[in-house]
Amino acid sequence: MAAKELVEYVAKSLVDQPDEVTVEEVRDRDGVVLELHVAEDDMGKVIGRNGSVAKALRTLLKVRAARDGEPISLEIV
């Protein structure tokens, strides 16, 4: 499973409005940036208390990046 699909799957599992979840992949000179877009009401569920869910998503991406050899970062928009 690609990093983009992984983030999308996890985010859709967390939110109340899964149809509003989109993930855009942007490549720059530093690697890949995944931009996660969710409904305004679901933003707290994706970020989590004190950023715990967002931190866990970023940890998953670090593992994926180590496996692929390409830096990946996550931005929640």
The structure's pTM equals: 0.89
Name the percent of the chain in helix, strand, coil, to the closest 5.
Answer: 55, 25, 20
pLDDT digits (tens, 9 = 90+) for 5-60: 999 999 999 999 999 999 999 998 888 999 999 999 999 999 999 999 999 999 99
Is 68 a residue whose pLDDT tops 90? no
Contacts of 58 (CB under 8 A, 6+ apart): 73, 74
Per-residue pLDDT at 69: 87
Q: What CATH fold (topology level) applies to the domain 3-76? A: GMP Synthetase; Chain A, domain 3 (3.30.300)
Is 1 a residue whose pLDDT tops 80? no
Domain ranges for the chain, please list them: 3-76
